A and B are shown apart, each in its own frame.
Chain A
Amino acid sequence: MLERSKLTLLGALVVIFAASRFSSHIGPYYYDIVLSIGINIILGVSLNLVNGYTGQFSLGHAGFMSVGAYAAACFTTYATGVLAVLAPLGGFVSVSIFFGLALCVAGMAAGVAGLLVGIPSLRLKGDYLAIVTLGFGEIIKVVIENVDALGGARGFSVASGYTNLFWVYAMAAITIYVVLNLVNSTYGRGFITVRDDEIAAEAMGINTTKYKVLAFTLAAFFAGIAGGLYAHFKQFINPEGFNFLKSVDIVTMVILGGMGSTAGVVLAAIILTILPEWLRWFSEQPFLPHWLAHLVENRMIPYSLLLIILMLTRPQGLFGGVELKRKKA
């Protein structure tokens, strides 16, 4: 099993590398969308580990993304000495290593934040955990807003747009690989046990806190990497871009995909990234009556309605329960 998945990962990386060679042909607007999809995949799959597989209710994922974004941005802006040291290795190699280091910094900073938030919070359950994670997400935002060196509320401009198709999708592939392998291991059993019946798990002697914190920290780590990629993609980050609404976006992806289904979350990430762009196109269509066009122009109106309808009609998401059913058989 392990052998096969490693081969699949390598194969995926090769395909991604090949695809990235052609990325200049698809036009900047589509490129933007494709990269956004990739980053959202990382965010969704990582949150799914916490919300889906471990059944913990986290509403502050954007906070970890922001920690990673700012950490990576600071690294590439202030640690230019590292780049200088790497320079003799040649332009492409040195930039790649530099950016790779930036992403590591991003992931680790976010992971540490995840640990700090997770350890005290994960004693709480259900709604309370949701509120605490929301609270921590807001606190992280407010702290960044008040630190002038990070640009505060006005934002941080990132000089170099290192992010490209290869980085985004390679990281997405790695995220999926790690999550799937983890879930199919004894750790995964631990996560799912915690989700299914935490009290029974405790009674069986399983250290539920350890599993919860592990899932949480790992999810934060990958969210941080997504943040680092985002920072060097949009090249401008500000705290408001990582607010509660962004966390809701990510949670929506997990729910649409079906909690506990990585494939579902990937599909959901694709759909939910394209949807606002599609709505944008739709609202511009001349055949729409004026009032309808105006209504749809504010894309949040159809988006929120879609959210409600989704919950009412298919709350288990696209693939909810499918992956687990297969395992039981």
Chain B
Amino acid sequence: MRIASILPFFATLALGALPGLAQDQIKVGEFASMSGGSASFGQSSHNGTMLAFEEINAAGGVLGKKIDLHTEDDRSVAGEPATIVRKLISQDNVVAVLGEVASSKSLEAAPICQENHIPMISPASTNAKVTAVGDYIFRVCFIDPFQGKVMAKFALSKGWTKVAVLKDVKQDYSVGLADAFEKSFTPAGGTVVKTQEYSTGDKDFRAQLTSIKASHPDAIFVPGYYAEVALIAREARQLGIKAPLLGGDGWVGESLLKVAGNALDGSFFSNHYSQDDPSPVIQNFVKTYQAKYGEKPDAMAALGYDSAKILADAITRAGTTDGPKLRDAIAATRDFKGVTGDITLDADRNATKAAVILTIANGGFQFVQRVAP
């Protein structure tokens, strides 16, 4: 490597290390999967976050200063979140960190934020362990134990007492949600008649589905991500399985219905918000997002948006970006009117908010019911 290209690198980094260089801006860090296997989640939440900060900056910023967002890509690779969060904190001198969608990545970065007393807000990590890392770690979404309970109760309310579970063993999220579902389902009278597993990236599920079909379930709980869920639904219908599918917020993705066709009609899933909710707050958000990005915002985008807005709101309430005071302000968030609902952060720094249950019909999602915590 040429010396010439290395010198500016170190020079810039040295300059960046000087504290308070850009004092008319508030630096916020974000780490997300912008490339690699989980990229669609990262790009969605990033879009939502950027939109939020753009709106805030256009309205004059926070405490009179504009928000300067520093985004780092963890490439969906383990080990990266640690490196880039360290960089955001020590090189870019951010006052807070937003991220990540995937619980495993949040778990990696959280101890670093905690150690440095930099508040971290995860938009969409639902695994319970994330906020348990320390009192500087927050999330604006509900946690898996709640989501699992929601779907378990729903299944029982429909009279579906025999359920098969098909989970993604490679994902924190999927295994945690399946566990949560079973913990609520079985004591209340339900039976899990069959458990099968798959891995993220699989495209063929006929072996698992044939085995599930033979156990004659009333419904199949598939707490996975949309790429695989779409194919699972297709293959299930092809194999002649008529039972409805149940799932969680991981179902939300642009390609879900495009790939599944009408295989998911009549299936249900829990989500953070519904695009069709007529409330003006949501419709406004959907319109602005669509105008900027050319597609409707999914749940990750909405949560990215809310996490950014809550951070800005907390900075305003704290009157400062000082670590401990900012942390306290975030923890005191009550009834924040977000796109994903009325958000109150509880003592465990998780969001207490309602979930919605949606069904698929007529080529789109339809609202079924709202479930309060």
Contact = CB atoms under 8 A, between A and B. Distances in A.
Direct A–B contact in complex, judged by CB atoms less than 8 Å apart: yes
Given A152-B169, A241-B77, A297-B34, A234 B9 contact: no
A36 B86 CA distance: 13
Interface in B53-80: 72-73, 75, 77-79
Contacts of A275: 1
A188 to B, nearest CB: 32
Interface string A249-282: 0000000000000000000000100010010111
Interface residues of A, number: 29
Interface string A12-30: 0000000000000001110
B13 A281 contact: yes
Interface residues of B, number: 35
**Which of A152, A237, A271, A281 has the most chain B CB within a 10 Å cutoff?**
A281
Given A28-B89, A152-B175, A155-B104, A298 B79 contact: no
A235 B111 CA distance: 8
Contacts of B372: none
B196 to A, nearest CB: 14
Interface string A229-254: 00000111110110000000000000
A189 interface: no
A27 B90 contact: yes
B295 interface: no
Given A281-B12, A297-B73, A236 B78 contact: yes
B238 interface: no
Main secondary structure of the interface of A (DSSP, over half): helix
Main secondary structure of the interface of B (DSSP, over half): helix
A29 B104 contact: no
Nearest to B35: A298
A238 B86 contact: no
A30 to B, nearest CB: 8
Nearest to A281: B9
Contacts of A164: none
A153 B170 contact: yes
Contacts, number: 83
Contact of A298 (B75, B170, B171, B176): B75
A202 interface: no
Given A28-B89, A236-B108, A153 B169 contact: yes
A280 B92 CA distance: 13
B169 A235 contact: no
A207 interface: no
Nearest to B200: A153
Nearest to B173: A154
B172 interface: yes
Given A32-B86, A297-B34, A278 B1 contact: yes
Given A153-B169, A236-B107, A297-B34, A28 B78 contact: no
Contact of B1 (A271, A280, A298): A271
B101 interface: no
A287 to B, nearest CB: 11
B281 interface: no
Contact of A278 (B9, B34, B75, B82): B9
B172 A154 contact: yes
Contacts of A235: 82, 108, 111
A38 to B, nearest CB: 14
Nearest to A33: B83
A41 B77 CA distance: 21
Interface of B: 1, 5-6, 9, 12-13, 17, 34-35, 72-73, 75, 77-79, 82-83, 86-87, 89-91, 103-104, 107-108, 111, 127, 129, 169-172, 175-176
13 contacts: A29-B87, A32-B86, A32-B87, A154-B171, A155-B78, A235-B82, A235-B111, A236-B111, A241-B79, A278-B6, A281-B12, A297-B34, A298-B75
Given A154-B171, A240-B170, A275-B1, 13 more contacts: A27-B90, A28-B89, A32-B83, A152-B169, A154-B104, A154-B127, A155-B107, A234-B82, A236-B108, A241-B77, A278-B6, A298-B35, A298-B75
Question: When A and B form their complex, which 10 residue pairs have the shortest distance between CB atoms, in order from nearest?
Answer: A241-B78, A154-B172, A236-B108, A28-B90, A153-B170, A298-B35, A29-B87, A28-B86, A234-B82, A29-B91
